[in-house]
Amino acid sequence: MTDRVLIEGSEAMARAAVSAGCRFFTGYPMTPFTELLEHMASLLPEVDGVCMNAESELEAVGMAWGAATTGHLAATGSTGQGLSLMQESLSEITNARLPLVVFNMARGQGDYFQATRGGGHGDYRHIVLAPMDLPEAVELTRLAFELASRWRTPVMVLGDYYLAHTYQAVSAPSIEGAAPEVPDWALNGSSGGSGSAKIISPLGGGTDGEEGFDLGAHYAACAAHIQEMSAGVDPLIDIGFCEDAELVVAAYGSVGKFVRYACLRLRDAGHRVGYVRPITLWPFPSEAVYDAVTGSAKVAVYEQNMGQMVDDVRLATMGAVPVEFIGGPSWDHSGFGIGPDINVPDISERILEALK
Amino acid sequence: MTDERIYLSTDTPPAEPAALVDDFTPTLITQANHHLCPGCGEPIAIRAAMEAVEELELAQSTITVFGIGCYTAFAHNLDVEVVQALHGRAPSVATGIKRMLPDGFVVTVQGDGDMVNEGLQEVLHAVARGENITCLLLNNGVFGETGGQMTTTTTLGQRTKTSIEGRDPHQHGHPILLSDLATTMDGAAYVARCAVNNAGNVARTKRYITRAYESQMAGAGFSLVEILTMCPTGWFVDTLEGPDYLQDTLAPVHNIGELKTP
Ligand SMILES: Cc1ncc(C[n+]2csc(CCOP(=O)(O)OP(=O)(O)O)c2C)c(N)n1
Ligand code: SF4
Ligand SMILES: [Mg+2]
């Protein structure tokens, strides 16, 4: 770590990725993801890494998939729409048990379901981390690579326009330092001719001596792994003022930071409001949410969408406390989710309304 | 008339054990059994591809990337490293591998449906980048695995389940001749088309694949070998008619020969 510098979110995340050992990045320009790609393109060559300007998001995720099979830390990303194009691969990469970090610099918060429900076909989940600001994005980017390696799974960092484009003073991660060692399962060709050459496949691994592959057994193993991951990944959450709160407000990401601030001001004014800000969106910190809200009379969920995380909050509270949705799609006419709906007076008003 | 048949005595055990399919299987193919149809051309092409890997002593640096089609069954039958990719997506996966392992030897195995239909964009970009990989296109002019529907390499007049009266250019458009297209692009170092419908063509296939591999070893850029393969099941012809059907239906349109050399 060096001293604090004023730095753009995209650059901070790019530096954090390289400092975590990322050596391959690829993407296709799309606002507000573009700058992450640009920063990776300038940083990776400095550490003998590779950054590719892919010809589409389909190819970007394919290239990242290939790079990941070599055991080097790989990442890609886009904005929601581009992520939609990548979903077929993200589903199968999860089944192929490959580490990969995926950035979604989303437009607004409409991609919560896409991120947390397994946005592609099939039956899978992967880890999702939602930072609220640059310092947290730096930490969570590092954590994303760590979790991806430990669990051999895609991990998504779900950000937005604010995160990608805001400048903030942070301790800029140094990009010097060695990348982690290449793990044993990685391919480099050398197991060829040994009688049991390695295979990395979403359809399952080698079946020494047996014929073909057993998809039933493979999918059962994938399901068991996802179960293990959902129990084994520490759920992260930021909780404030919930002990004596009448109303708890739930929100995530940059929007969560505004909600947190609104709650702080409302507390100052004597209102008994608290907040919960889930940081791991999958696995969702259900127990912590339950514990935090059960003493209150109501939970209000503020999201910049038609109501997505609200489903997880309802599942977490299990009917113990009524849950009301107080968010809505962004009013922003640019479509980037940077509208006047994310401002403290407006959010406070909605919270006060829910308190009535 | 004398009976010229030789009758083997069963009174004594044979001097040598009977030859098994395994005995004729190249060392880099680990199982004699596969799930492909009798008369299928794909195992012949894959055999040539593996023999060439062995002969060029590339077994310990090769990573093959499989697309999705009937040949996918072979991904589990090889003694070289394999990455299973999605339908159409092998060239991008191969690119990621090659960029991280420039000394690795990277080969994709794809069909016409995989490479020329679903994955056309990415293979063309791989050619344009001069990506130093070898792509093997097993072209049987149909989606074999899904039961014999028209692909873009189906020739005019060819009957498939989705061109029942024969491919009609007004309704179904014209075939894309991928190898010819690749030849026009600067990134292509070696492009050739061959077939496995007779012994001469099988030998030619092995020769072309070997040259493509040598071009990758020399770092010359993108190499493509298109191999016309029999698919009696997807063509709805008798197994024995496969080779002639290939000669009469595919070969006149998809011309055999070396199209571009370094
Ligand atoms: C995205 C996607 N679309 C469709 C399929 C279904 N599918 C599986 S194999 C196949 C045909 C493969 O054709 P080809 O590559 O020519 O191989 P062949 O079976 O003829 O050897 C198709 C369409 C798929 N697996 N994925
Ligand atoms: S359907 Fe065609 S391509 Fe597939 S295994 Fe049978 S003959 Fe081969
Ligand atoms: Mg085919």
Q: How remote is the CA of residue B40 from the centroid of ligand 2, in Å?
A: 5
- What mean pLDDT do residues A271-293 have? 98
Which of these, B107, B86, B87, B109, lies nearest to B97 by C-alpha position? B107
Contacts of B75 in chain A (CB under 8 A): 199, 201, 203
B96-113 pLDDT, tens digit each: 999 999 999 999 999 999
Is B207 among the domain residues? yes
Write down the mean pLDDT value for chain A.
94
Same domain, A18 and A140: yes
pTM beyond 0.90:
yes
Is A252 among the domain residues? yes
Higher-scoring residue by pLDDT: B44, A334: B44
Residue A211 has pLDDT above 60, yes or no: no
CB contact under 8 A, A193 and B28: yes
- The region that residue A151 occupies, defined by phi over 0 for left and psi between -120 and 50 for alpha, beta otherwise, is alpha
Domains in chain B: how many in total? 1
CB contact under 8 A, B96 and A69: yes
CB contact under 8 A, B83 and A201: yes
How far are the Cα atoms of A24, A84, A178, B93, B256 from residue A48, in angstroms, in the given order? 10, 30, 11, 20, 42
Q: Whose CA is nearest to atom 1 of ligand 2?
A: B144
Q: In angstroms, rounded to a whole number, what is the distance separating the alpha carbons of residues A101 and A147?
A: 9
Is B17 among the domain residues? no
A32-41 pLDDT, tens digit each: 999 999 999 9
How far are the Cα atoms of A100, A222, B80 from residue A233, in angstroms, in the given order? 16, 16, 35
The band of B9, judged by pLDDT with boundaries at 50, 70 and 90, is: low
Peptide bond connecting A32 to the previous residue in cis, omega within 30 degrees of 0: yes
A22-31, A324-333, B189-198: lowest mean pLDDT where? A324-333
Q: How remote is the CA of residue A211 from the centroid of ligand 1, in Å?
A: 21
* Ion ligand 3 neighbours, Cβ < 5 Å: B 111-113, 140, 144
Q: How remote is the CA of residue A187 from the centroid of ligand 2, in Å?
A: 29
Percent of chain B with pLDDT over 90: 85
Copy the structure tokens of residue A234.
Answer: 């520490």
Is A192 among the domain residues? no
Q: In angstroms, rounded to a whole number, what is the distance separating the alpha carbons of residues B174 and A257?
A: 57
Contacts of B95 in chain A (CB under 8 A): 52, 59, 62-63, 66
Is A57 among the domain residues? yes
Strand A273-278, strand A247-250: pairing: parallel
A41-84 pLDDT, tens digit each: 999 999 999 999 999 999 999 999 999 999 999 999 999 999 99
Residue B32 has pLDDT above 80, yes or no: no
Helix A134-151 to helix A9-19 angle, to the nearest 10 degrees?
30
CATH number at residue A278: 3.40.50.920
Indicate the SS3 state at residue A228: helix
- The region that residue B15 occupies, defined by phi over 0 for left and psi between -120 and 50 for alpha, beta otherwise, is alpha
- What mean pLDDT do residues A277-291 have? 98
Q: Which domain range does residue B247 map to?
A: 34-260
How far are the Cα atoms of A86, A153, A200, A219, B225 from residue A123, in angstroms, in the given order? 16, 14, 19, 9, 37
Domain end point (choices A121, A139, A171): A171
Which of these, A217, A245, A223, A186, lies nearest to A68 by C-alpha position? A186
Same domain, A166 and A243: no
Which of these, B166, B133, B126, lies nearest to B150 by C-alpha position? B166
How far are the Cα atoms of A100, A107, B56, B78, B140 from residue A75, in angstroms, in the given order? 6, 20, 34, 29, 36
The band of A3, judged by pLDDT with boundaries at 50, 70 and 90, is: confident
Is B22 among the domain residues? no
User: What is the CB-side half-sphere exposure of residue A122 using CA atoms within 13 A?
Assistant: 20
Quote the pLDDT of residue A281.
Answer: 98
Q: What b/e readout covers A93-131, taking b as 16+ CB neighbours within 10 angstroms?
A: bbbbbbbbbbbbbbbbbbbbebbbebbbeeebbbbbbbb
CATH number at residue A18: 3.40.50.970
Q: Which amino acid is at A163?
A: L
Question: What residues contact A128, with CB distance under 8 A and at least 6 apart?
Answer: A115, A116, A155, A156, A158, A280, A281, A282
The band of A339, judged by pLDDT with boundaries at 50, 70 and 90, is: confident
Largest CA distance in chain B: 71
CA B255, distance to chain mean position in Å, is 15
Domain end point (choices A138, A171, A204): A171
User: What is the CB-side half-sphere exposure of residue A4 using CA atoms within 13 A?
Assistant: 7
- What mean pLDDT do residues B22-50 have? 89
The band of A335, judged by pLDDT with boundaries at 50, 70 and 90, is: confident
Q: Which domain range does residue A136 map to?
A: 4-171
Residues in chain A: 356
Domain end point (choices A121, A154, A171): A171
CATH number at residue B100: 3.40.50.970
- What mean pLDDT do residues B223-230 have? 98
DSSP string, B58-92: -TTTEEEEE-SSGGGGGGGSBSSEEEE--TT-HHH
Q: How far does A2 lie from chain B, in Å, by closest CA?
A: 29
Helix B90-100 to helix B120-128 angle, to the nearest 10 degrees?
30
Q: Are A96 and B84 in contact (CB under 8 A)?
A: yes
- What mean pLDDT do residues A139-159 have? 98
Residue B51 has pLDDT above 80, yes or no: yes
Quote the pLDDT of residue A338.
Answer: 84
Residues in chain B: 262
Alpha helices in B129-198 (DSSP H): 169-172, 178-183
Burial class of A89 by CB neighbour count within 10 A (0 to 12, 13 to 18, 19+): buried
Is A308 among the domain residues? yes
The band of A206, judged by pLDDT with boundaries at 50, 70 and 90, is: low
Quote the pLDDT of residue B12.
Answer: 76
Domains in chain A: how many in total? 2
A291-321 pLDDT, tens digit each: 999 999 999 999 999 999 999 999 999 999 9
Is B14 among the domain residues? no
Write down the mean pLDDT value for chain B.
94
Q: Whose CA is nearest to atom 24 of ligand 1?
A: B87
Measured over the CA atoms of residue A169, residue A171, residue A175 and residue A180, the dihedral's sign is: negative
CA B73, distance to chain mean position in Å, is 13
Q: What angle do CA B42, B47, B49 make, to 5 degrees?
A: 95
A185-204 pLDDT, tens digit each: 999 999 999 998 999 999 98
Q: Whose CA is nearest to atom 5 of ligand 1?
A: B87
CB contact under 8 A, B121 and A59: yes
